[in-house]
A = this chain, B = another copy of it.
């Protein structure tokens, strides 16, 4: 049986990025000691979630891809002997920035993905900071498998999950930063969390592969004072290829999960639920349309 031990680091970040990194390092090391071969960090893992407000000063947080590739995360992957999925604020040129996943091998960089779908709503002003990615949807080949790395808002798009699958992804991976607004009542908050879990479990079902989602936790204040800040809802999880939950973290606690995933199971599931067999590709052309009315 071909298995993979996956570590998920769900963390609450403070204002001090160096201190956040120090704690990430501890957590990655803890996952590696528990046998994790692949460790997935939450979206923009070491920053406070700075997109709560539009501030030009925040562009100073960005780094060039070359700098990111030589960052402490590279050393972490090497020292802990793990494949490490990170997301960073990439400065590609003055006035051109991305939300970029960089996947590290113990021996260097395996590949990158630039977030393709960019959200923008109160508390998540990402369109101000991030140009939509130009990488397209290509899995990243690593020593532990082909990783379909997508980022946060991508998780709502079945198209992205499907293209990763058609290009041979073994796993889908979603680093995320999503939470509750205090302006919403408890029922609305529950619907949002359920929707977030449901849509990602459904990517596992529709594509017959495991899904890993890693979200941050903790409350972060809104520096603009416009809102009461965001309570990130944690709930990082791993689902198997029928969408079954293999592990799920709490909403309000920092937590490392280490989960064994059976990679052979995807093929078993696809044999009895062969959805790829029956796709009506002759009738899908207009999925490239904006709208059809």
Give me the interface of A with B, judged by CB distance under 8 Å: 116-119, 121, 132, 136-137, 153, 156-163, 166-168, 191-192, 194-195, 198-199, 201-203, 205-206, 242-244, 272-276, 278-281, 283-293
Q: Given A199-B206, A275-B157, A279-B157, does the pair A285, B288 have CB atoms closer than 8 Å?
A: yes
Taking the closest CB of chain B, its distance from the CB of A215, in whole angstroms, is 17
Counting every copy of the chain, the complex holds 2
Residue of A156, A278, A292 with most partner-chain B CB within 10 A: A278
Partner of A289, one of B116, B166, B274, B280: B166
> Complex: how many Å from CA A139 to CA B274?
26
Residues of B within 8 A of A286 (CB): 163, 166
Partner of A117, one of B136, B278, B287, B293: B278
Taking the closest CB of chain B, its distance from the CB of A69, in whole angstroms, is 24
Residues of B within 8 A of A158 (CB): 158-159, 161-162, 202, 206
Of all chain B residues, the one with the shortest Cβ separation from A164 is B292
The 4 closest A-B pairs by CB, nearest first: A202-B202, A158-B158, A166-B292, A199-B205
Residues of B within 8 A of A275 (CB): 156-157
Taking the closest CB of chain B, its distance from the CB of A278, in whole angstroms, is 5
Q: Given A156-B205, A198-B202, A202-B202, does the pair A281, B292 have CB atoms closer than 8 Å?
A: no
